[in-house]
Each structure stands twice: as structure tokens, then as C-alpha cells.
Amino acid sequence: MRRNLIATAATVAVVTATAGFAVLAGSSGSTAAGTPSSAYAFAAEGALPFAGQPYVESSDGKTQTANLVELPDNPLAALGAGTVSAGDNKASVEMLNLSVGGGVFDQLPEVPEDLKKQCDALPDTGIGDLPVPELPAIPALPVPGLPDLNDLPDELPADDLRELCRLLLTPPSSLVGLDLLKVSCNGATGTVEMGALTVLGVKVPAPAMTPNTTIPGGPLFTITLNKQTKNADGSFTVKGMEISLGGGAQVITFGNATCAKFTKPTKPTPTNTPTAPSPTPVPTNLPVTG
Amino acid sequence: MFASCHPRQKARTRPREQAGEQGRVSATMLVLTLLCAAVVVWGVNSRSDDFDSWDEQPDLSNLVASSTRSTLKGAPRDPAPRAATDGAVVRPNQATGVYDAPRGNAFGKIGRNQFGPTWLPVIAEEDGWVQVLLPSRPNGSTGWIPADRVQRQVSPYLIRVHVGSRTLELFFEGKRTGTWPVAVGRPETPTPTGRTFVLGSIADATQSSRVILPLGAHSQTLDTYGGGPGTVALHAWSDSSVFGTAASHGCVRVPDDALDELTKVPLGTVVLIDRK
């Protein structure tokens, strides 16, 4: 337990230490057989499935493009704008002003007066443990692997308590914000560009990252940046940012581009599709138009 | 901002020296916790058609079955009502939803049997989905079904009905094997043109033709006829003087020797009806 939670703290440290702008390049791969190139800006799997949006694929090798002004209302994520494109062995996603969990802070319980008073009375410095005031009831967690925060200790380190007060009294607009994310693949090469990253309302730098950079967060979450996959069918996929919550109970993907070389589909031939037989008339009554 | 995440302790239950075993609590945990809780609450409250997952069967009990007796709203129209197909016909492996697009929304359902087995012609395929003609009103209705939910065969036949010349042509593997004069609908009850298919092969003791081949099309001037839903059919007619005329209520009346050949045609075979 301690190891996992410490890993969480380490994750936070890594996330908050990330830096401004990164261009990342990927590896080699092979051609696909039957899978079209495709792209989408946002998708989620798990407790709340969310089909990729906007989604395009190139079933005939011609470039298909779609734009999205905003996502349907949901508490997972929001986008300022998104453009996706897929063609013969190429695909790209570009999105602006994405945020994760913006709706969460709108649903925070009202802060009790006692907590406000205690927050106001917190010393500016000092790391000693302080009593935890009574917090608003927090819904139980049906997502496996996540802790129950109704089971907080009676005391917390002062810095954690100060952070808790800041979040409850002045909630940020989102959990994670990113002003630009570009994801593209060309054949078996993937590229990811990230703009300024904001975590809990605070701008943080982004590190230079190699493909498949994984930031473990114990049982809570894992963030994978520039995730590149050679698929079994020969296609190649690059994901800009993947956030896995609760050991995979909820997986959020931003910017997915899959590249596949267009191959003309082969139609079933009479030799492998059986010829339909003559029907046997069925006794029944159906007045027809005569 | 999370420069420090200190070991916490449960003061009343554990001694301070065990604080490290308690791990850490950070504000981020709270936020993530709320995020997941909100996601689940929202998910429960807002599962809707907006996010209907196509790879799972929809609730079929809430969907209207496509049949010759039903009308389905929201069915895509046949994009090429004059075109022949490659002959592919499919039959649902079980009752399945019918969708308005690949990975789209289910607007109806189709069963495995109607008049005997239900075979539908494939007019398009895309990424593991087949687009089929439907037997329900309005004429020219189509729907998409996942290809892994259907059984596939090929019909080597094609039927063409020319309303203008009042003739019927039968093709086998692309070659014309027969032409017959037929009776088509009167001007006030015309035979509907467009692309349809052989929906069934029935023996109805209440009607004179020994075999009737209901099509997937309906009269556009008769909502009902004789107690039926206005289904257009191919069938024989005892008075041969009608052949070559516009005499029916929408059906195509054919000579006996034509019916002999047409009853060999597999279910799902495409029927192209034009004004020529």
C-alpha cells in the first residue's frame, strides 16, 4: 500500500515537472491488410465508454477529414476544437484547449463553514500533522483500485491539508488541461507534439519523452504519452495521451492516429461463398396487391 | 505544487511510528476520486442513444421489427435504386438491430425468419458492416448490420421488370435466360419502381397462384389490399389476356412458365423495377 501511494506521489511530481513543448518520433513497422487508416480526437473505455469522436477512416485510400467544435456534454473531457484526418497510410489529429475532468469541480460538495474556518486558520508554513476537519460526504468508489476518501485519517500533513483547502475553496477549471495536442502517423512513424500543460490549474513544464513514456501512478492511474503500437494486422497506431484510471477500469485516450496501407478489398468469390438454393414455398396467408 | 506529500497517520488507531505504512494522501487523490465517482454517476444517468455501443446488441424489445407489415422511420434510403449487386445475400444469425450507419444508431431490428428464412440483398459493405435492403415501408428502406451477425450466400439470379414495356427479364450469372410479357399495375395503382428483392416464396390457398413471391416493396397508393399490407408480389394469373397490359393493383402477374423459372430464384435475389 505504501509503495503504491508513494508511487502516486511520484507520479504527481513527474506530472508537475513536465515541460512546455516536445516533438517525439517513433519506430518502424509494416503494412496493413484490410485495416483502414483512422483517426479520432477523444475516446474512453471502461466504466463510461465513449466512442471515438470525431472519427474518420479511409476505407478507400482517399483522405477523409472531420472537424469537431466541442464534445457532447460529459464530465470526462472537453475540447475547444479538433480536426482529424485519415488517408492512405497516414493519419493525424490536432486539437486545441482540451481539458480533463472539468465537470468534476462543478460537482464538489459545498464546503462546510468549519472547514472554511480551519482553512483560514492554517499556518502558511510548517509540515506538522494537523487535524482533518469534517469533510463533505464523498460518493463511494465503484471503480476498482481507487481508495475510499471517506476513510481519511484523523490528521494530515499540513501541506496536504493546505492543498486540500486550495482545491475545495478555489477549485481549478480542470484536472488536466492542454492547450495543444498534435498526433500524427505516416506509415510506421508516429509524432506527438504537446503544448502547455496545466495540472489542477497550475501551468507545469513538459519533459522530453521517448515513445511509450509511461508515468505509473500505482493503483490510481497511469499516464502514457506518445503510445505507439504495431498492431497484429500490420497497422500502426500512435496515441498522444492515454490516461488509465483504477488499473484500467477507465481509460481515456486523446489523439489516436492509425496508419495502414490501403489494399483493395477482395470480394468473396463464388467458390468460398455458397450459392443460395431455390426456396421451398411456405404455406401461409399474405394477401398481396393482385 | 505537490512538492511535499508527507506520510500520514491515523492518529487514533495507529502509533506515529507506523505512519509510513499508511502511505500518503494528497489532494490529487481526492480529485481523482471525485473524477471517477462523477464519471460513474454521470454514466448511470446519461447512458443514452448518443453513446449506444454498436458492438453490443441494443435493447431489441424497444425496436420495431422490419417486416412487410411494418414501417420503420429513420431507415437510410437506397443510394442506388437502379443498380444491380454482386449477388450477395445475407440472413441474420439471430434477431439483430438494424443501424442507420456503420457504428451508427439502431433504428429497428430484423428477425431470422419471416416467410421461411429471411434473406436480404447486400447493396454495400464497409468495415465489417453490410448494408441491406429491408422489407418494411417505405420503399427503398435500407439498414446496416454487422457482418459477423449474418450468414452469407450468393444468388446468381437477377430479375428486371420493365413497367413501360410490361415485360420481365430473368438473368442467371449475368446472362438473360428468359423474357416474358407480364401485367403491371394500373395507372391508379402503379407497380412501384426501384430496387427491391424476393422476400419470400409462399403457397397461399386463398389466392389463385400456386406460388406467390412477395417482394420487399409496397404499393404507394394502397396502404392495405385484401387485408394485407399492400405487399407487391410476383405471381401467376389464370387469364393470359392480361399479360402485356397494365391491369393489376401493383403486383406483377406472370405467365405460368415464367413462374416455373422464378420459383427457382433464391430468396434475397434483387428485383430491379424500372419505367422502360
A193, A181 contact by CB (below 8 A): yes
In this complex, which of B22, B119, B250 lies closest to A276 when CB atoms are compared? B119
User: Tell me, what's the pLDDT at B16?
Assistant: 32
Within 10 angstroms of residue B104's Cβ, the number of other Cβ atoms is: 16
Helices (H) and strands (E) in chain A, counts: 4, 18
User: Tell me, what's the pLDDT at A231?
Assistant: 87
Residues A229 and A160 in one domain: no
Best residue in B30, B103, B263 to probe A by mutation, most A CBs within 10 Å? Answer: B30
Could you identify the residue written with the cell 492542454?
A: A178
DSSP-assigned letters across all residues of A244-274: EEGGGTEEEEEEEEEE----PPPPPPTTTSP
A8 touches chain B (CB under 8 A): yes
Provide the CATH number for the domain formed by B157-274 in this structure. Answer: 2.40.440.10
Residues A190 and A116 in one domain: no
B115, B214 contact by CB (below 8 A): yes
Helix (H, G, I), strand (E, B) or coil at B259: helix
Looking from the CA of A2 toward its CB, the CA atoms found within 13 Å total: 9
Domain B60-154 fold: SH3 type barrels. (2.30.30)
Residues A141 and A219 in one domain: no
User: Tell me, what's the pLDDT at A222?
Assistant: 78
Chain A residues with CB-CB distance to B232 below 8 A: 288-289
Chain A residues with CB-CB distance to B125 below 8 A: 265
Could you identify the residue written with the cell 433504428?
A: B107
Residues 6+ apart with CB under 8 A from B199: B68, B114, B115, B118, B135, B213, B214, B215, B216, B231, B267
**What is the bridge-based pairing of β-strands B106-110 and B96-99?**
antiparallel
User: Tell me, what's the pLDDT at A10?
Assistant: 31
User: Tell me, what's the pLDDT at B32?
Assistant: 60
Q: Provide the shortest C-alpha distance from residue A191 to chain B (in Å).
A: 26
In this complex, which of B1, B3, B42 lies closest to A74 when CB atoms are compared? B42
Q: Kindly state whether residue A285 falls inside one of the protein's structural domains.
A: no
Q: Provide the shortest C-alpha distance from residue B257 to chain A (in Å).
A: 16
pLDDT at B20 over 50: no
Summarize pLDDT for B90-103 with one digit per residue, the tens. 999 988 999 999 88
Task: Select from A129, A152, A169 the last residue of a domain.
Answer: A169
Q: How many angstroms separate the CA atoms of A243 and B28, rounded?
A: 14
B132, B152 contact by CB (below 8 A): no
Chain B residues with CB-CB distance to A127 below 8 A: 4, 6
DSSP-assigned letters across all residues of A144-211: TT---GGG--SEEEHHHHHHHHHHHHS--S-SEEEEEEEEEEETTEEEEEE--EEETTEEE------T
Q: Where are the domains of chain B?
A: 60-154, 157-274
Q: How many angstroms separate the CA atoms of B114 and A272, rounded?
A: 27
Whether residue A287 has a cis bond before it, omega within 30° of 0:
no
User: Tell me, what's the pLDDT at A159?
Assistant: 73
The C-alpha cell at A88 is 492512405
Q: Provide the shortest C-alpha distance from residue A185 to chain B (in Å).
A: 21
* Secondary structure letter of residue B237 according to DSSP: -
Residues A233 and A92 in one domain: yes
In this complex, which of B27, B232, B251 lies closest to A164 when CB atoms are compared? B27
B155 touches chain A (CB under 8 A): yes
A13 touches chain B (CB under 8 A): yes
Residues A165 and A202 in one domain: no
- Average pLDDT over chain B reads 82
Chain A residues with CB-CB distance to B260 below 8 A: none
The C-alpha cell at B169 is 427479364
Q: What is the mean pLDDT of residues B144-163?
A: 95
Q: How many angstroms separate the CA atoms of A58 and A36, rounded?
A: 6
A181, A241 contact by CB (below 8 A): yes
Divide the 290 residues of chain A into consecutive groups of 10 and give the mean pLDDT of each group: 32 30 32 72 82 86 87 78 92 90 67 77 72 64 52 71 76 81 93 82 69 71 86 90 80 92 64 86 87
Q: Kindly state whether residue A278 falls inside one of the protein's structural domains.
A: no
> Are residues B36 and A47, on separate chains, in Cβ contact within 8 Å?
yes
A275 touches chain B (CB under 8 A): yes
- In chain A, how many domains are there? 2
Q: Which of A204-218, B15-29, B250-264 has the lowest mean pLDDT?
A: B15-29
Interface of B with A in 35-54 (CB under 8 A): 35-43, 46, 50-51, 53
> Which structural domain range is residue A252 located in?
2-102+173-259
B156, B87 contact by CB (below 8 A): yes
Residues 6+ apart with CB under 8 A from B63: B97, B98, B106, B107, B108, B109
The vertex-A255 CA angle with A251 and A260, nearest 5°, equals 105
In this complex, which of B27, B189, B248 lies closest to A163 when CB atoms are compared? B27
In this complex, which of A6, A277, A289 lies closest to B219 when CB atoms are compared? A289
Chain B residues with CB-CB distance to A287 below 8 A: 204, 206-207, 225-228
Residues 6+ apart with CB under 8 A from A113: none
B120 touches chain A (CB under 8 A): no
Looking at chain A, which residue has its C-alpha nearest residue B184?
A: A290
Q: Provide the shortest C-alpha distance from residue B251 to chain A (in Å).
A: 5
Could you identify the residue written with the cell 424476393?
A: B198
In this complex, which of A16, A221, A270 lies closest to B32 when CB atoms are compared? A221
Q: How many angstroms separate the CA atoms of A200 and A208, rounded?
A: 21
Looking at chain B, which residue has its C-alpha nearest residue A284?
A: B204
Q: Kindly state whether residue A153 falls inside one of the protein's structural domains.
A: yes
User: Tell me, what's the pLDDT at A229?
Assistant: 92
Residues A188 and A242 in one domain: yes
Longest pairwise C-alpha distance within chain A: 94
Q: Provide the shortest C-alpha distance from residue A83 to chain B (in Å).
A: 20
> Are residues B41 and A139, on separate chains, in Cβ contact within 8 Å?
yes
Residues A91 and A7 in one domain: yes
Q: Which of A8-12, A267-271, B68-72, B209-213 has the lowest mean pLDDT?
A: A8-12
Summarize pLDDT for B168-183 with one digit per residue, the tens. 999 999 999 999 999 9
Residues A7 and A82 in one domain: yes
User: Tell me, what's the pLDDT at A147?
Assistant: 55
DSSP-assigned letters across all residues of B8-55: -B-TTTS-GGGGGGG-B--HHHHHHHHHHHHHHHHHHHH--GGG--TT
Q: How many angstroms separate the CA atoms of A151 and B97, rounded?
A: 45
Residue A218 φ/ψ region, left for φ over 0, alpha for ψ in the -120 to 50 degree band, beta for the rest: left
Residues 6+ apart with CB under 8 A from A170: none
Q: How many angstroms separate the CA atoms of A214 and A223, rounded?
A: 6
Q: Provide the shortest C-alpha distance from residue A231 to chain B (in Å).
A: 17
Q: Kindly state whether residue A267 falls inside one of the protein's structural domains.
A: no
Interface of A with B in 183-202 (CB under 8 A): 199-200, 202
Higher pLDDT, B41 or B110: B110
Residues 6+ apart with CB under 8 A from B171: B157, B158, B159, B160, B177
The C-alpha cell at B1 is 505544487
Chain B residues with CB-CB distance to A288 below 8 A: 207, 212, 214, 225-226, 228, 231-233, 235, 251
Residue type, B165: S
Residue among A202, A203, A176, A186 nearest A85 (CA):
A186
B230 touches chain A (CB under 8 A): yes
Read off the pTM. Answer: 0.48
Residues A199 and A229 in one domain: yes
Summarize pLDDT for B90-141 with one digit per residue, the tens. 999 988 999 999 888 899 999 999 888 999 999 999 888 999 999 999 999 9
User: Tell me, what's the pLDDT at A12?
Assistant: 34
Residues A230 and A146 in one domain: no
Q: Which of A10-19, B158-167, B186-195 has the lowest mean pLDDT?
A: A10-19
Residues A25 and A86 in one domain: yes
B115 touches chain A (CB under 8 A): yes
Best residue in B14, B40, B120 to probe A by mutation, most A CBs within 10 Å? Answer: B40
Residue among A289, A233, A198 nearest A38 (CA):
A233
- What angle, 0 to 180 degrees and rounded to 10, lies between the N-to-C axes of helices A158-169 and B27-46? 40
Residues A118 and A83 in one domain: no
User: Tell me, what's the pLDDT at B167?
Assistant: 97
In this complex, which of A129, A175, A284 lies closest to B9 when CB atoms are compared? A129
Whether residue A54 has a cis bond before it, omega within 30° of 0:
yes
The C-alpha cell at A144 is 476498482
Q: Kindly state whether residue A222 falls inside one of the protein's structural domains.
A: yes
